[in-house]
């Protein structure tokens, strides 16, 4: 997920409710090379943002299946009332 502060959805917009429990990479069976693939995608997205070349995956989440190398792109939306990135985030509101 590529995030451009102030203009795209953030992680909390995409996942407004924290999971009750989530397995660790070791528990879920994530192999080391998958982390390298995802890291390369993240680096590419950062370079797109910094250089202005290409179209970054804003408001989208890329899911990669390490077994088949299939990928799925899921759209998300910036939430106007997001507690993390709204124009006045909930964490900074008084009251």
Higher pLDDT, 19 or 91: 19
Residue 76: pLDDT band by 50, 70, 90 thresholds? very high
Q: Evaluate whether residue 2 is within a structural domain.
A: no
Q: Transcribe 18-65 into DSSP letters.
A: --S----HHHHT--HHHHHHHHHHHHHHHHHHHH--S---BTEEEEE-
Task: Give the count of domains, the chain.
Answer: 1
| pLDDT tens string 29-43 | 888 898 899 999 999
Q: Evaluate whether residue 44 is within a structural domain.
A: yes
Q: Evaluate whether residue 33 is within a structural domain.
A: yes
DSSP state letter for 86: S
Q: Evaluate whether residue 88 is within a structural domain.
A: yes
Calculate mean pLDDT across residues 80-86: 89
Q: Evaluate whether residue 1 is within a structural domain.
A: no
| pLDDT tens string 16-28 | 888 888 888 888 8
Question: Which structural domain range is residue 36 located in?
Answer: 11-92
């Amino acid at each position: 997920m590529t995030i451009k502060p102030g203009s795209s959805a953030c992680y909390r917009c995409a996942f407004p409710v924290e999971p009750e429990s989530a397995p660790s990479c070791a528990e879920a069976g994530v192999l080391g090379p998958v982390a390298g693939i995802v890291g390369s995608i993240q680096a590419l997205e950062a370079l797109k943002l910094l250089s202005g070349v290409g179209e970054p995956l804003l408001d989208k989440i890329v899911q990669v299946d390490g077994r088949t190398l299939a990928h799925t792109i899921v759209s998300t939306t910036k939430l106007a009332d997001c507690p993390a990135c709204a124009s006045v985030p909930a964490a900074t509101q008084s009251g």
